Amino acid sequence: MHTVWILTLSMLRRKKLQNLLTALLLLLSALLLGTALTVLLNTENLFEDAHRKTNGSQQILTLDQGLHDPAFVYRWWEEQSGVQVSKLLPYKSLSGLTYNNESLPNLYLYMMNTPELPFGVDELLFAGETSPERIPTPGTVWIPTSLAASSGIGEGDTIGFQAPGGYFELRVSAVVVDVPYGSPFSTSARIWMNDGDYRKHLAAVEGGDRYMMGLRFDDYAKQAEYWTRFEQALNSPYLETRTDFTEISAFYLILNRIIGFVMIFLGTVMAAIALATIGFTVADALLTNYRTIGVLRSMGLTITGITAPYVLQYGLLGIPAIGIGLLLSRFPAAAILENTLSVLRTGDVPLMLHGTGWLILTGILLVLFVLLCAALYASRARHILPAQAIRYGMAEADSGRSTQGNHKGGIGLGHFPVDLVIAARSSTGSRRASLFTGLIALVSSSVLVFGVLLLSSILATGQNAGQWGYDATDISVTIINEPLLARSDFAERLDNDPRIAEYGWYTGASGLLKSDEPSAAGTSMNVYLGLLDGSYDSLGYEVLTGRNPRTSDEVALGLNAAQFAGRTIGDLVDLYIRGEKRTFTITGIYQSVANMSNSARLVMNMPSDSGVQTNLTERTAFVSLQDSADAEEVAKEWNTAYPGALSAASQASLIDAVFGEAVRSLLLPLGMMGILFLTVTCLIVYSVCRIQVRKNSRTYGIYKSIGLSSLRIRRSVTLGIIFVSAAGATVGAIGGIYLLPLLLNRVLSNYGLQELPLAVSLPGTVAAVLFSTAASAAGCWLSSRIVAKTSPRILTVE
């Protein structure tokens, strides 16, 4: 055992830099894996903690169509044992608000007539330092953290609203965590008003009060039984809007699940690279110390005694490195969680991270893999025969091939410039080292390209809006005050404006989709109905398969809605629309990130007996221009011409309001992963090239002795690495574009996206390949400094 320890300590002392690089690589691998695990484990914990603190609802019933008596619905649920019910919350709807003299149009506002706290279910958590009253005081409102964070609104700020009765302003007295309607990227928000302000400012809103209420089950698994009894009491299906827990939680979890999935996958790849690097280093050490191992074996040292130092060496390196990496992972994980789930934070309460046990288990597994990898490669020493090792310094067969090779003719490199010859020999002299370098560049490039692809795809949502489930028009116009501006009058203006290429009137409603196959959600699903007076195709709506509906008896279903109903193109499907059952033929299936594809598309020109046309007001117009560059100017013109009557915004601004936040949230984790992989690439190539430079030191000494400068030699060696890494990075770019998104699609499929709409950025892809190649070149250049620092005589002697 004493001999084993001496050999182990000798390896640690003699190769300090190489050991340091290996430890750093293991640390970075543990850092990435630990960050990913912490983000994944705590995303759900943070949401569940907030949901528990607020006694959050598991279902929200919105009674906005007048199809059921709100008092009856509330009374029935309140009488059920095992179900907690919030107060019945009256509200009216408005679109958009004004802050700092700027309109924020991409908002659907529920203007709540706030009852006294507590609500019973879906309590509000106050995010500020103040302790507000039990209800908003006159002239003030409470707003959700999602609206405050995305718009920069804080306590004490004044915000304005345009209602049919006129424009009014209220001061923000509190910012609250409102779990059901406060998720990131939300385009809806509950504004909590004082009863007097509610009645004064919203009296002219058409349709009277609407209501919502939250339900929380003691045993959520039994909710289907409650709903069966409830619909029996109604003597009909529940025909208004029901939002289930999966929809409430979806957009709190989606971004961090994407981040966590990507980081877990890439962390695993980085750990595999670290293990491969250890294997490469051990295998190279066996070849370098071939004669020494032969001597030790001839002196009676067993294979276990030769293998053990390598295992102990990497165990002593791995345990502290992996431990430090996992400890440090708490900091980037906390930063990512703060960035993506700030809407759930209250005050200055420190972020408590869970999952220590999983991190410890991950660390143990990583250490075991390191030890196993070192033992596996070190066990190759059993094939070393002492006599051959002492005589040849390698296996006899290898010695024979080497000697035979020395008598072979050249391979025709003498006709090329010296720099290229040296570059070629440095890259082909060790095929294993070149292959490993190319593989590292491949992985690094694929990671960088995938990050660029993900960001560019989200940034290009405006150009690919139809593939995300949105329209692809230039301007969205919402008439917010019908008495001031009739739809027909504005339609006449659109017809007479030569700048307009196409437009259509759109509205949304809630419907009930029936399925013949009972599922966990029962036999019915609430779906969002898009109703268009115009052509879906002309306005840029796309489908995955089939086509958009064109007649009143056709429907296109969202992906998840179609899967729930068990229907495909050509099948018939039943929909309840405003209480009436209608049968439609499915013409297409589409994906939509909005509503998680729990939606359907219908045309507006339905028979009057359906009740749709006479009971819904189409107040939103999607407008395509002859020249898209005029969108901002035309929207501004209409807002100026009809102040208080409509709200017009370019699609670019609406898309940015939703997806800009996603881009900002992704920059930190994707940037961190890019930097980590570039760092790892540089470190690994440095380590590999340093080994090769030491092996070829005599050759470089001869080059210097015949007049080649150190700079020229280093430049030539680096050029060889550039060739190898550029080839690997190019292949990696293809993998980053075509292979990694396939894995991400598995995560997104639960959120209504079957295929992530990709937008390849050629400049970004080229930059990623160049950065990966540059990291490899930097590692090689740094490792070759020994050539410049050492004299030709010493190099030749070595």
Tens digit of each residue's pLDDT (9 = 90 or more) over 242-253: 888 888 888 788
Identify the band that residue 611 occupies on the pLDDT scale cut at 50, 70 and 90: very low
| Side chain identity at residue 324, one-letter code | I
Q: pLDDT at position 587, please?
A: 95
pLDDT higher for 511 or 786? Answer: 511
Q: Percent of the chain beyond pLDDT 90?
A: 21
Q: Are 504 and 539 in contact (CB under 8 A)?
A: yes
- Render pLDDT for 594-607 as a digit per residue (tens, 0 to 9): 888 889 999 976 44
- Render pLDDT for 119-166 as a digit per residue (tens, 0 to 9): 989 999 888 766 667 889 999 999 998 888 888 888 889 999 888 778
Cis check: omega of the bond before 118, within 30 degrees of 0: yes
Q: pLDDT at position 795, please?
A: 52
Q: pLDDT at position 419, please?
A: 66
Map residue 739 onto helix, strand or coil. coil
Report the pLDDT averaged over residues 748-752.
78
| Token pair belonging to 247 | 């929809």
Report the pLDDT averaged over residues 279-298.
71
Q: pLDDT at position 71, please?
A: 93
User: DSSP letter at 597?
Assistant: G
- Residues ≥6 apart with Cβ < 8 Å to 409: none
Q: pLDDT at position 403, please?
A: 47
Report the pLDDT averaged over residues 363-376.
90
- Comparing CA positions, the residue from 540, 583, 586 lying closest to residue 561 is 586
Whole-number average pLDDT of the chain: 82
Q: pLDDT at position 55, please?
A: 92
Q: pLDDT at position 296, please?
A: 67
Q: Are 36 and 337 in contact (CB under 8 A)?
A: no
Identify the band that residue 384 occupies on the pLDDT scale cut at 50, 70 and 90: low
Q: Are 688 and 433 in contact (CB under 8 A)?
A: yes
Q: Percent of the chain beyond pLDDT 70?
A: 86
- Comparing CA positions, the residue from 605, 623, 617, 625 lying closest to residue 485 is 617
Side-chain-facing half-sphere of 585: CA atoms under 13 Å: 10
CA angle, residues 285, 288, 293, in degrees to nearest 5: 85
Residue 796 has pLDDT above 60, yes or no: no
Q: Are 786 and 700 in contact (CB under 8 A)?
A: no
Q: Are 162 and 129 in contact (CB under 8 A)?
A: no
pTM of model > 0.85: no
| Token pair belonging to 105 | 């149009």
Measured CA distances, 185 to 343, 400, 477, 665 (Å): 11, 68, 21, 11
Q: pLDDT at position 90, please?
A: 94
Place of tokens 């250490």: 367
Q: Are 576 and 237 in contact (CB under 8 A)?
A: yes
Q: pLDDT at position 409, please?
A: 44
Measured distance CA(27)–CA(277) in Å, rounded:
14
Residue 616 has pLDDT above 60, yes or no: no
Side-chain-facing half-sphere of 580: CA atoms under 13 Å: 12
Identify the band that residue 654 occupies on the pLDDT scale cut at 50, 70 and 90: confident
Q: pLDDT at position 408, please?
A: 45
Q: Residue 534: which H helix or E strand, with range?
A: none
Residue 427 has pLDDT above 70, yes or no: no
Report the pLDDT averaged over residues 510-537.
78
Pairing of the two strands 59-63 and 83-85: unpaired
Q: pLDDT at position 785, please?
A: 81
The backbone torsions φ and ψ at residue 187, rounded to the nearest 5 degrees and listed phi first, read -105, 10
Count of all residues that appear for the chain in the document: 798
Least confident of 321-330, 665-674, 703-712: 703-712
Report the pLDDT averaged over residues 674-689.
85
Least confident of 2-6, 44-48, 252-256, 446-450: 2-6
Least confident of 49-58, 303-312, 436-445: 303-312
b/e sequence 725-759, b meaning 16+ C-beta within 10 Å = bbbbbebbbebbbeebbeebeebbbebbbeebbeb
